[in-house]
Amino acid sequence: MMRRSIVRALLASSVLVGGCSSDAANPVETFTVSGTYENQEVNVQDLQRPKESAAAGVGCEGFRSSPIKEGGPITVIDGEGKTLAGGSFSGGRWVTGRQGCVFSWTIPNVPAGSKSYQVMAGQRAKAGPFTETEIRNPLSLTWKPA
């Protein structure tokens, strides 16, 4: 009987100790990365009325082969290539002064404290490196396939 009480006490204390060492005691600071990515695989000049389309913010799309398209994945990676957080592109729009289709994106919950950051669209389009100060500000990126 005494042995069971000791076992129960040990189990209870290990649960309490385990709970105290969780990440909740040391939360990681995170921030949101956002911006636009211009896909120059498509070009406003290919339209019949490019100036009017850009001024009106007419919707546009990337090609199927493009990593930059509505719903396409976009991630933040660290200097070693480890994925830190991810998001996806919103629908594209023609924008006055820009040649390609411009897609907005937001990536929440990016952990602070990395030495460098890069933004990766799909597996082909990579931008950076950026410092934490740089990546905390909205980014305006351009992708033009080779």
Residue 103's beta-bridge partner residues? 37, 92
Question: What is the pLDDT tens value at each position of the chain, 146 positions in all?
Answer: 444 444 444 444 433 444 444 456 678 899 999 999 988 877 777 776 767 777 777 778 766 667 788 888 999 999 999 999 999 999 888 888 888 889 999 999 999 999 999 999 877 778 899 999 999 999 999 887 66
Paired sense of beta strands 59-60 and 73-78, if any = unpaired
Domain boundaries, the chain: 27-143
* DSSP-derived secondary structure for 108-142: EEEES--S-EEEEETTTEEEEEE-HHHHTSPEEEE
